[in-house]
Amino acid sequence: MAEARKANTTDLSAFLQRTGRDIADMYRGASTWTTILRRADLLPTPTTPPPGEGNLLKRIHSFLHIDDAERSTLYRQFTADNAPAYEDLTEFDQTIARMLFFNLWDKAGGFTSYSTGLASLHSQHAVRSELGQLLTHLMYSGRARAAQPLTGAHAHIPLNIHHAYNRSEILAAMGVARLGGQLPGFFAQGVLWDAANNTDALLITLNKSERDFSPTVRYKDYALSRTHFHWESQNSTAPNSPTGQRYQKHAQQGSHVLLFMRDGKEISSGKAMPWILLGPATYERHTGSKPMAITWRLHHPLPDEIWSRLPGTVPPS
């Protein structure tokens, strides 16, 4: 609070510049920029906050990983004072709006339509102000990188290769998350067969701690090189099973594989770590059964900024 009073600003980027703080510092524990300002008496605390404000502020941290200008721009647009109605968006932009929706309400928030949920943000002035400031800061902080969209059969999915996404965004982008169906807040698997897109999405956590993963699911997953990845299937998957056959024959049968990778389950602040989309991959070979140890060939080589963070994940020879 004293630091905020000394900085004497309600602008998030200005505060970070004046104090030398990192953006992640604002979101440790239950802290948010709005709560910091209110405790420092720099922002009026409403007598009666809008319904749901507290829960929404707790979700702002889930936008910290955003690293592309398109996503930041559209999320800001969809939460602006003059935000377009969900029904007026293109199909592609509606998908991004659903990514925003489920990032804010990963268990649907009690809404029965995306339009109603997004429209409810109009009364959430503090939430929209903080989210807008955060997204603006991320856009100009140097972390935003050039977009590399998915192509071919996945061109309609608004995800960029080698960019970061959390579970809510991934499931919403692929059309798996939906009201009245699968909700991100109840999804905990590391594998997903997406029948609509004819795609296996593999959500890989490299370093699996004993605290977070039981011995039966501490699979050995690691990059073999910039173009090849070693991955172990679930313990129930045998080469001759329908899933095992789909993995091996996906190219011949016309299905696809997308790899998502993260280093661990949490970042230093204790919040969930997002996944990096490694992009499409092709089966090359496997050994073993239950689990199958599969080598995937990545269509897009790992860039320096990802590869340089991976030393130690490849077992010594």
- What per-residue confidence (pLDDT) applies to 217? 54
Q: Does pLDDT of 125 surpass 90?
A: yes
Task: Kindly state the average pLDDT of the residues 234-262.
Answer: 97
Using a CB cutoff of 8 Å and minimum separation of 24, what contacts does 82-88 make? 83/118, 83/121, 83/122, 85/115, 85/119, 86/113, 86/114, 86/115, 86/118, 86/119, 87/115
pLDDT confidence bin for 209, thresholds 50/70/90: low
Q: Does pLDDT of 241 surpass 80?
A: yes
* Mean pLDDT across the chain: 92
- What per-residue confidence (pLDDT) applies to 220? 86
Instruction: State how far the Cα of 282 lies from the Cα of 217, in Å rounded to an integer.
Output: 23
Model's pTM, two decimal places? 0.93
Q: Closest by alpha carbon to 238, among 198, 190, 287? A: 287
Q: Count CB atoms within 10 A of the CB of residue 180.
A: 7
Q: Closest by alpha carbon to 141, among 16, 37, 25? A: 16
Q: Does pLDDT of 214 surpass 80?
A: no
**pLDDT tens by residue, 142-183:** 888 889 999 999 999 999 999 999 999 999 999 999 999 999
Tokens of 4: 């905020």
Bridge partners, 107 (sequence order): none
Sequential DSSP letters for 68-113? -HHHHHHHHHHTSTTPPPGGGS-HHHHHHHHHHHHHH-TTGGG-S-
pLDDT confidence bin for 236, thresholds 50/70/90: very high
**pLDDT tens by residue, 15-71:** 999 999 999 999 998 899 999 999 999 998 888 899 999 999 999 999 999 999 999
Tokens of 205: 């956590």
Task: Kindly state the average pLDDT of the residues 132-146.
Answer: 90
